Structures are given as structure tokens and as C-alpha cells.
Structure 1
Amino acid sequence: MIYQNFLLVDDDDSLRKSLGLYLHDHGFNVKSVHNVDNAKSYLELYCPNLIILDIMMPDLDGYQLIQFLKSNIKYSKIPFIFLTAKGMTQDRIVGYDLGCHAYITKPFDMQELLAIIKSVLNNSSNWLQQQLLNASSINDKLLSNKFTVREYSILQLVLKGMTNKAIAKSLTLSLRNVEKYVSRLLVKTHSRNRTELVHRFFLKNNYIEQGE
């Protein structure tokens, strides 16, 4: 199972609580914050699979958060969904011009939002698999020089989204040994977690360029 981590950014306490619980009940890990500054603080430590955000918030707005993400190559590929009361056509155009994967207006139906989220994640997963295929011929020689044979084989499975337990079963290793190898991969690639490792791997189709 591939666990998906979401960042929910909205100044409406009630919405954050209800939507966070709903998504959690459907198998997603959700971190909820009430403003852009807190979102940035979270992103310094974690790299979510999806961001769901409001536009109109105190201090900085959702547009400014997306501009921040787009200006930072580490975050620029994270898919995001606008969830907002701004429903005019021009508002939607601005949202899609910024690259949102969906623009949903409040009030909204949670089942519809869930369906949209699954579609966005599926498209992102398909993109990831295609990048793995496209990048493999470019990276194989470089990666094999950077990692041991075992580290490299585990890296390939991590990039496919396999859990440590699944990797251990696939390679007939103990879970503890897999955890050690994954820790080494994170250190060697200067990554704080698996999601960040995947994003680093696809920077210019070769994360080694930016990690050294």
C-alpha cells in the first residue's frame, strides 16, 4: 500500500476538522494548518503528495503559497487543488493558470472532492511511472556509481512506492535491514523522507545534480 500524505491549508477551523476526518476515514494522512506561514513551516520538514488549499486567508493568500511552491524546484511538482468560495470565471482562470489540478468552489460535496482527489493522485502516479521509465536509461550508470548494488535495487523499489515491508518481502531481506538501507539512501540523497527522495530523483531527471 502506498500511503498518501496531504497538506490542507484553510483558515476555517470547522472545515479543516471535518474534511481532515473525512479524508482520514478514507485512508489518507492529513496535516491541517490555518495559514500560509504554517504551511511553509510544514513544507520545510515534509513534502506532501497533494496540497488542498483555500485562496482567501489572513495575511498571505493561496495564490502566494502556490507562487512560492512554483519558485522552489523541490515543491514545484506537488499537485494542488484549490478549495475556495471564489467562484467567478476569472477566479477559475487564475487558478488554472497557476497550474491547479482542480478548482472546487464552496460549498462542496465531500464525495465529489474525494473522487477528484483520487483522479489527481492517479494521474500523478501515472506521471511518476512514466518518469521512471524515461529516466532509467539516463540515470542507471550514474546511480550505480553512487550506490551499492543493494542500495540501488532498494532505491528502484522505493521510487515505485513500495513500503519497507513490501521491499523486504520482494528482496527476501529482513525489515530491519531494509530500514537501514532506506536510511542510507536518505542520507546519500540529502532527503528527509521518501516523498522528498522521489522529488529529488526527478529534478532534471537526475537528483544527483542538485544533491552534491
Structure 2
Amino acid sequence: MKHVKKILLVDDDQYIRNALSSYLFAEGFLVYSVDNVSSAFIVIKNSCPDLIITDIMIKGLNGYDFIKVIKLDSFLYHIPIIFLTAKGMTSDRIKGYNLGCNAYLTKPFHPQELLAIINNIFHQIDLLCSRSFVPIGTILINSKMLDTFTPRECNILQLVFNGYMNKEIALSLNISLRNVEKYISRLLSKTNTRNRVELVRSIINLYVRANDGNRTRV
């Protein structure tokens, strides 16, 4: 079963929320739209989005503070974030990127450009997941070690990276929650990591040159 990407849209402009939600839904995404950060955290807690699009000038906590909280959370820091804002100064862009956003798009914008950015982010994530070498702390998982993973373990690893919780993995793969826990325990053991956060971090920090086996940072 193909995983439908979940996008959280945070913007206090109702027109933009409605128009963009409809557009992204038509492109095959599941969209949650809210007008403030407090509501955004409720969505994050309950649904764990694959990507967040947020304005900077929003009610309550602003977009800069929002991304700071996300990036400091060991369970959320891997979620890609796009700033969609009217703040178009170079200094604003630099601040956004320094805080960890993946892309910065200014209003007014073309929906097709935003869609291209979204698709590119997900494409890059898929490429990372397909690489041959993964450093885990001081240990490098090469193709030989990857051969020790069963096909089911590879599936679980992919879903963990995509932000799936154990219950979601169980539903997606049609297996019991207990079996999911066993598979994740095996992955932690095989990769010498202690928890899901380290496991995800190990996937993100990839070193690869698949063609000749030389290691290079992506």
C-alpha cells in the first residue's frame, strides 16, 4: 500500500489555506491546515506529518520560533520544513535557512513552484533511503551489512524514516504491533543504535558513492 504523504500547512490567511489545501489534495497529498502554532502541534502529535509548510508571521508563536522547537525535538527534527511567507529580505531567508528550513518561498508565489519544491524534497529523501552506505555513529553500514537486513526489515526501516509510528507501520504492512516492535528491536541491534531517533539520524547522514564504493558526503 502506497504511503500518502501528509503535509501540515500553517498560515493565518484562510484564503491561502483553502486554496493551497485544495491544490495539494488534488496532487495526491493529505493536507492538514491550521491558522496557529498551537493547533499545529496538536496535528503533529496526532498525525506526524511528512512535511510542514508554514508562514513566519502567524498567530502566537511565529514561524521562526516554531522551527526552533521542531528542530530541538529529537522525535520531530527530521521533518522537512518550507517557509512560505511575505518576508522576502535576504536577511529573512538567511535566518530561515540557518534555523534549518529546507526551502524558503516568498508570497506571492506560484503553486506549481511550491509543488516542485515539495516533490524535490520527497525525491531527495527517497534517494537517501536508497543509498548503499549509512554511517551510524562511528560505524559505517555498507552494502554487505545491508545484505543482513531482511526485505521486511528494509520496509520497516523505510517507514520509520518517513515518520511512521509503530501503529501506523503495523497498519501499513498488515502485521501486529508486537511484530513491529520485534523488527525495530532487530534493526537497532543490527545498526548498533539505541532508539528510533538514532536510527533515523543514521539514515539522514548518508555517505555514498554507489558506483565505485568510495565514500562521499551527500
Q: TM-score, normalised by structure 1?
A: 0.71
Q: Does the 8 A contact of 1:69 with 1:75 survive in 2?
A: yes
**1:69-107 deviations in Å (ceiling 9; x for gaps):** 111111111111000010111111101111211110111
Separation in 2, partners of 1:12, 1:33: 10
Unaligned runs of at least 5 residues, structure 2 = 160-169, 186-195, 204-218
User: In structure 2, what is the equivalent of residue 123 of structure 1?
Assistant: 124
Q: Does the 8 A contact of 1:155 with 1:185 survive in 2?
A: no
Partner amino acid, structure 1, of 2:178: R
Identity %: 38
**1:21-58 deviations in Å (ceiling 9; x for gaps):** 10010011111111111111111222211110000011
Structure-2 change in CA distance of 1:178 and 1:52 (3 Å): closer
How far off is 1:18 after superposition?
0.6
Separation in 2, partners of 1:45, 1:80: 18
User: In structure 2, what is the equivalent of residue 15 of structure 1?
Assistant: 16
Q: Which runs of 4+ in 1 moved over 6 A?
A: none
1:156 counterpart = 2:150 = no
Partner amino acid, structure 2, of 1:202: L
Q: 1:179 aligns with which of 142, 157, 174?
A: 174
Structure-2 change in CA distance of 1:132 and 1:47 (3 Å): farther
Q: Does the 8 A contact of 2:56 with 2:83 survive in 1?
A: yes
User: In structure 1, what is the equivalent of residue 58 of structure 2?
Assistant: 57
Q: 2:202 aligns with which of 189, 201, 205?
A: 205
User: In structure 2, what is the equivalent of residue 82 of structure 1?
Assistant: 83
Separation in 2, partners of 1:51, 1:45: 14
Structure-2 change in CA distance of 1:29 and 1:132 (3 Å): farther
How far off is 1:127 after superposition?
2.1
Structure-2 change in CA distance of 1:132 and 1:22 (3 Å): farther
Separation in 2, partners of 1:36, 1:66: 10
Separation in 2, partners of 1:94, 1:177: 38
**1:176-198 deviations in Å (ceiling 9; x for gaps):** 995124x33555559xxxxxxxx
Determine helix, strand or coil for the equivalent of 2:15.
helix
**1:3-31 deviations in Å (ceiling 9; x for gaps):** 21111111111111110110010011111
**1:93-129 deviations in Å (ceiling 9; x for gaps):** 1011112111101110001111111111111222233
Question: Which one has the bigger helix percentage?
Answer: 1
Q: Does the 8 A contact of 1:129 with 1:160 survive in 2?
A: no
How far off is 1:137 after superposition?
3.8
Q: TM-score, normalised by structure 2?
A: 0.69
Q: Does the 8 A contact of 1:73 with 1:203 survive in 2?
A: no
Partner amino acid, structure 1, of 2:46: L
- Where in structure 2 are the equivalents of 1:28-177 lying within 5 Å? 28-130=29-131, 133-134=134-135, 137=141, 153-160=151-158
Q: Figure out how many residues of one structure are paired with residues of the other and give that number.
A: 176
Q: Does the 8 A contact of 2:71 with 2:100 survive in 1?
A: no
